[in-house]
Amino acid sequence: MSGPLAVVGAGAWGTALANAAARAGGGRVLLWGRNPDAMAVLAATRTNERALPGVELAPEIEPTADAAAVGAASAVLLVVPAQAVRGALAGLGSVLAAPDLPIIVCAKGIERGSGAFPCDIVAELCPRAVPAVLSGPSFAADVARDLPTAVVLASAKAGLARKLAARLSGPALRVYHGTDVRGVEIGGAAKNVLAIACGIVAGRGLGESARAALVARGFAELARFARAHGARAETLMGLSGLGDLVLTCGSAQSRNFAFGEALGRGEVPATAAAGKLVEGAFTAPVLVDKAARAGVDMPIAQAVAAILDGAITVNEAVDMLMMRPLKAEA
């Protein structure tokens, strides 16, 4: 691949991925952020103290706020929140017009309002680009500390997915490849909603048995939703799906889990996020809406959306889930 790799979005995950890509070899990595002052500080201090404290930027990383610089990239990692994917792409505009430019979405979510998956937004706004998605169990802080991590990168173009996975893989980040873009997107988006549910269980002190039941039944509804949207079952059994569910449904390091924990303790949604990005809170209502349209039963996601909406309390949600008519396990 000629030309630098560009990471668009200089938050926690963008900075961690830029470092991982630099350590993987392959040359320059542009780290683009929209705030020129903040990017000047990154360039001067070689750290991103606000988003990823205590982590030094690899020498190959060039922090920049110059959109034109991204135009020279051989591939773009798009690492902004799911609700900002459209705005970020629109903001970069013609900079992303090169034919066959791989744009790898690293966000986990579904767009509210449109119900669009991130790669569909890429296809809509950058019709000459090749959309791809990278997802899986991976805390930015772990990747930044070079702890062993595995993710999956999917693109409809199998050869390109293989090449990009090789470009990003390094001693501590193992990138699998695949072609099931929709399956990988759904795994990342849905697990955030289920992580909120597991956090609520922990915060309310409902016990480890309840949490394990939620993970298993949550996986069942995630897989149903994915199948209804054309994803392959084996994708959801993999890193983006089961893998990420296991990670974020069991760790307070997850912002979605921590948000749920605060709700479980009795905090209200407006303060429970504590200023952090909670993708599942944005995705819950749109996931539930899409499930209803597709005729897919997602009682746990529905309960999360209803709690966030203020329509039901945590106790009512628990009663509702426990009192559902008994059924065969499927």
Ligand X SMILES: O=C(CO)COP(=O)(O)O
* Sites of contact with ligand X (CB under 6 A): 108, 137-139, 192, 195, 244, 247-248, 254-256, 279
Q: How far apart are CA 68 and CA 50, in angstroms?
A: 25
Spell out the residues 6+ positions from residue 54 whose beta carbon is closer than 8 angstroms to its own. 47
> Residue 127: helix, strand or coil by DSSP?
coil
Please, which residue, 94 or 313, has the CB nearer to ligand NAI? 94
The yes-or-no answer on residue 157 being catalytic is no
Whether 136 has a binding-site annotation, put simply, is yes
Q: How far apart are CA 19 and CA 32, in angstroms?
A: 13
Q: Does 139 bind ligand NAI (CB under 6 A)?
A: yes
Is residue 160 within 8 Å of residue 102, measured between CB atoms? yes
Q: Does 219 bind ligand NAI (CB under 6 A)?
A: no
- C-alpha 260 chain-centroid distance: 17
Whether 138 has a binding-site annotation, put simply, is yes
Nearest partner of 278 among 299, 263, 266, judged by Cα: 263
- Residue 9 interacts with which of ligand NAI, ligand X, none, CB < 5 to 8 Å by class: ligand NAI
Closest approach of ligand NAI to the CB of residue 144, in Å: 9
Among 82, 95, 198, 303, binds ligand NAI (CB under 6 A): 82
**In this structure, what token pair is assigned to residue 292?**
């209803």
Is residue 161 within 8 Å of residue 131, measured between CB atoms? no
- Residue 260 interacts with which of ligand X, ligand NAI, none, CB < 5 to 8 Å by class: none
Please, which residue, 19 or 138, has the CB nearer to ligand X? 138
The dihedrals phi and psi of 249, each to the nearest 5 degrees, come to -85, 0
Closest approach of ligand NAI to the CB of residue 140, in Å: 4
Q: Does 81 bind ligand NAI (CB under 6 A)?
A: yes
Q: CB neighbours (10 Å) of residue 174?
A: 16
Q: Does 191 bind ligand NAI (CB under 6 A)?
A: no
Whether 32 has a binding-site annotation, put simply, is no
Is residue 134 within 8 Å of residue 77, measured between CB atoms? yes
The single-letter code of the amino acid at 150 is: A
Binding mask 20-39 for ligand NAI (x = CB under 6 A): -------------xx-----
User: Where on the chain is the footprint of ligand NAI (CB under 6 A)?
Assistant: 9-14, 33-34, 51, 79-82, 84, 87-88, 91, 106-109, 138-140, 277, 279
- Which residues have a catalytic role annotated? 191
